[in-house]
Amino acid sequence: MRIAVGADHAGRELKDRLVAFLKDRHLEVSDYGASGEGSVDYPDFAEAVAEAVAQGKADRGLLICGTGIGMSIAANKVPGVRAALCHDAYTARMSRMHNDANVLTLGAWVVGQGVAQETLAVWLDTPFEGGRHQRRIEKILRLEQNRS
């Protein structure tokens, strides 16, 4: 699995730790930054990761900012992206099973490293259920198409 990862200055430290976790799982990671400590704008990183997922350069994406909210809002502007802000294993599991989320957003100020790692692991390991949920995903895709 190929994972595109990005964070702003608030999420950089957690991103770096989760990149190591992903590499320990032998996943292919593309790190879109941020890499320094200076203030940066989260929409830039959300766009880069979301575009990588939408274009098929990555199978999934991970975005981290202070709360995860800004990253989620920005990433969801890219057609084909279903970014889910998750705070625990349960929301991560449901975002995959029911929504086929292809980008996970996390809030570095909201979850600690242990919860973030568990949330990410569950999100990576949970398949999409399909069935009645597929019909709903198709409706989301039509919403995107009708506005392009």
- 26: CB partners within 8 A, 6+ apart: none
pLDDT digits (tens, 9 = 90+) for 26-35: 999 999 999 9
Residue 37 reports pLDDT greater than 90: no
Active-site residue, from 9, 86, 98, 133: 98
Cβ 15 vs Cβ 5: under 8 Å: yes
pTM over 0.95: yes
Instruction: Report strand pairing: 83-85 vs 28-31.
Output: unpaired
Catalytic residue among 65, 86, 87, 133: 65
What integer best gives the mean pLDDT of the chain?
A: 97
Q: Is 65 a catalytic residue?
A: yes
What are residue 61's DSSP bridge partners?
4, 103
92, two tokens: 């991560």
**What pairs with residue 64 in β-bridges?**
7, 106
The pLDDT tens digits of the residues spanning 73-120 come to 999 999 999 999 999 999 999 999 999 999 999 999 999 999 999 999
CA-CA distance, 120 to 73, in Å (whole number)?
A: 19
Task: Domain 2-146: give its CATH superfamily.
Answer: Sugar-phosphate isomerase, RpiB/LacA/LacB (3.40.1400.10)
* Nearest-angstrom CA–CA distance, 100 and 144: 16
